[in-house]
Chain A
């Protein structure tokens, strides 16, 4: 009995230690980025590297939005860089609109495909093909006809693509939530003379509200982080945050401080959204095929 107790105790301690190590591994890269983002230029690649900055400065963040403003010496260095304000405005316009559109269209289609098998049994599976292939494969033909439609470097082009390429997630996640609503409730309302629209919006919709919110936040994460399509279809006017991040890593080169600061700012909205829907992350990434 004693030895079993001891074994259980050492087992728990070992698991706890492993937990700490795992935590450290997953936290360190982000902590390093955070640390650099608060360092003045002379500390960016100082040797030996320090986890906690000697002199904490916020000028890396300020300079992102005011490149000409020489704050703490950083500003003068990056005065050539473009301000990230435009990218932020674009992301803040494009991502919510595309997310809302994807959610509405996905919800309507999910309802029709689960309740009436509208479009045939294989339609939902067919929608999954939009996520099977590398987006670059679709980007080739899309570029050709978006150019013909005059959509290159516009927010509209991104909204259309982001709506379309997240519809598979909106459809499949909300399907799961709709299946959770008993059909008998809807049938009872229909027998009482309610129209199908009424049933959908006053009975089903309120019951899946929470699920829709989770789906919406998940799609928001996908759209906010999308890079390849934005990189191809925008050049100046409609660039988004991830494109701006890549500009900082590539062109601005050695300006590690602002680069890190931009990484932090770009991550905050999605990490917040992700933690709100923690429980649904697996459901999201597996199209609802695996539920928690």
Chain B
């Protein structure tokens, strides 16, 4: 290409070595990256992918540990486990209760959290102390929150004491013997523990919003409610959606509070879906039926979150 004697005479050779060096660098980068994610990949295979394959297989066979054969030798049941689910009223009741917790607890946590966040947007004496006090419930073990509310709502506990003081001695309520009230105390415990999460996330979201749009709206003569409804809320929407999706997924898993406070009782009237699958699989020992329920839950949650996440991705 170039005349001989020129310093760049060996351009093609130089380009080749540059290319090989580049390739080496890319290779090195790829090798390095792959190496770094390998431990996580192994864990994911071990705890996510292989279990998913096993749970699908288990859901298609008829197997219980007490049958005395290993699970891979169990006879195929094909879709019989799934057919059984559709006739299992206890399953659908449990699903309904878990969804009820999601709606009732999630909704109230959001409402109270937003109210508190708005209240805390302005300064008042002791605000920092109050903010730190509000934080601690979400750090507590769920079982301890369950224990605390169990102690509060005992027949001879402080809640009943306050009620009898206000409404006379006949006002003692047996909280854990009435299905609706028992569920109510569980939801209350969940609200107590997780309102701080929604408060904190909305509070920091509100604090991070730009001030200009609000001032512009104020100059245009909008009142407080209009500004909140048409300016603040739309800007806060992405944060709200993330908070609600995460809280809803967590609330749907609810297990610890129920296990500790009511054990699903009275009867099965506070049994949530996690507790029911736990019982079928690990107490009654019907593992392949529990597997079918688990698969159905996986499918349902995947579908629901796909729809829920869409607006987040678009926003």
Q: Which residues of A contact B (CB under 8 A)?
A: 11-12, 15-16, 18-20, 22-23, 25-27, 29-30, 32-33, 36, 45, 47-49, 104-106, 108-109, 111-113, 115-119, 123, 126-127, 129-145, 160-161, 163-165, 167, 171, 196-197, 221, 224-225, 227-228, 231-232, 241-242, 245-246, 248-250, 256, 259-260, 263, 266-267, 270-271, 273-275, 278, 281-282, 285-287, 289-290, 292
In the complex, what residue of chain B is closest to A165 when comparing beta carbons? B47
Task: Please tell me the size bucket of the interface on B.
Answer: 35 or more
A135 to B275, CA, bound (A): 11
Is B175 part of the binding interface, using a Cβ–Cβ cutoff of 8 Å? no
Residues from chain A with a CB closer than 8 A to the CB of B119 are 15, 18-19
Give the shortest distance, in Å, between A240 (CB) and chain B (any CB). 10
Residues from chain A with a CB closer than 8 A to the CB of B135 are 274-275, 278, 281
Task: Please tell me which stretch of B12-20, B84-92, B293-301 contacts chain A, meaning at least 4 of its Cβ atoms lie within 8 angstroms of it.
Answer: B293-301
Residue in A49, A105, A142 whose beta carbon sits within 8 Å of that of B51 in the complex: A142
Most-contacted residue by chain B among A27, A111, A196 (CB, 10 A)? A196
Q: Which residues of B contact A (CB under 8 A)?
A: 28-30, 32-37, 39-41, 43-44, 46-48, 50-52, 54-55, 58, 71, 116, 119-120, 122-127, 129-130, 132-152, 154, 156-158, 161, 192, 196-197, 200-201, 204-205, 239, 242-243, 246, 249, 252-253, 255-256, 259-260, 263, 273-274, 277-278, 281-282, 287, 290-291, 294-295, 297-298, 301-302, 305
Docked-complex contact A132 and B37, CB < 8 angstroms: no
Residues from chain B with a CB closer than 8 A to the CB of A165 are 47
Docked-complex contact A270 and B147, CB < 8 angstroms: no
Residues from chain A with a CB closer than 8 A to the CB of B126 are 16, 19-20
Give the shortest distance, in Å, between A208 (CB) and chain B (any CB). 14
Q: A29-B149, A285-B197 are in contact. Are A227 and B141 (CB under 8 A)?
A: yes
Residue in B58, B127, B192 whose beta carbon sits within 8 Å of that of A140 in the complex: B58
Residues from chain A with a CB closer than 8 A to the CB of B204 are 282, 290, 292
Docked-complex contact B48 and A119, CB < 8 angstroms: no
Residues from chain B with a CB closer than 8 A to the CB of A105 are 39-40, 43
Docked-complex contact A263 and B243, CB < 8 angstroms: no
In the complex, what residue of chain A is closest to B55 when comparing beta carbons? A141
Residues from chain B with a CB closer than 8 A to the CB of A266 are 141, 143-144
Residues from chain A with a CB closer than 8 A to the CB of B277 are 134, 136-137, 140
In the complex, what residue of chain B is closest to A33 when comparing beta carbons? B148
Residues from chain A with a CB closer than 8 A to the CB of B152 are 29, 32
Question: 30 A-B contacts, Cβ less than 8 Å apart?
Answer: A16-B126, A20-B126, A25-B192, A26-B192, A29-B148, A33-B151, A36-B151, A108-B40, A112-B35, A117-B33, A127-B40, A130-B47, A131-B249, A134-B274, A136-B294, A138-B55, A141-B50, A145-B50, A167-B40, A171-B40, A196-B32, A227-B259, A242-B143, A242-B256, A246-B260, A249-B146, A259-B147, A266-B144, A273-B139, A274-B136
Docked-complex contact A274 and B196, CB < 8 angstroms: no
Give the shortest distance, in Å, between A20 (CB) and chain B (any CB). 8
A16 to B46, CA, bound (A): 52
Most-contacted residue by chain B among A135, A137, A242, A270 (CB, 10 A)? A137
Instruction: With A129-B48, A135-B274, A171-B40 given, name 19 new contacts (CB 8 A).
Output: A23-B129, A26-B192, A36-B151, A109-B36, A112-B35, A118-B33, A118-B34, A118-B37, A130-B47, A130-B48, A139-B281, A140-B58, A141-B291, A232-B278, A245-B260, A246-B260, A249-B150, A256-B154, A263-B148
In the complex, what residue of chain A is closest to B31 when comparing beta carbons? A196
Residues from chain B with a CB closer than 8 A to the CB of A136 are 253, 255, 274, 277-278, 281, 294
Q: Which 7 A-B pairs have the closest CB atoms?
A: A118-B33, A274-B139, A164-B47, A116-B33, A112-B36, A137-B294, A141-B54
Give the shortest distance, in Å, between A251 (CB) and chain B (any CB). 11
Q: A196-B32, A227-B142 are in contact. Are A127 and B44 (CB under 8 A)?
A: yes
Docked-complex contact A267 and B47, CB < 8 angstroms: no
In the complex, what residue of chain B is closest to A126 when comparing beta carbons? B44
A166 to B161, CA, bound (A): 42
Residue in A111, A227, A271 whose beta carbon sits within 8 Å of that of B143 in the complex: A227
Docked-complex contact A30 and B55, CB < 8 angstroms: no
In the complex, what residue of chain A is closest to B53 when comparing beta carbons? A141
Give the shortest distance, in Å, between B81 (CB) and chain A (any CB). 12
Docked-complex contact A48 and B161, CB < 8 angstroms: yes
In the complex, what residue of chain A is closest to B54 when comparing beta carbons? A141
Residues from chain B with a CB closer than 8 A to the CB of A290 are 201, 204-205, 239, 242-243
A167 to B39, CA, bound (A): 11
Residue in A108, A270, A271, A275 whose beta carbon sits within 8 Å of that of B37 in the complex: A108
In the complex, what residue of chain A is closest to B139 when comparing beta carbons? A274
Docked-complex contact B242 and A134, CB < 8 angstroms: no
Residues from chain B with a CB closer than 8 A to the CB of A16 are 124-126
Q: A12-B124, A109-B39 are in contact. Are A19 and B130 (CB under 8 A)?
A: yes
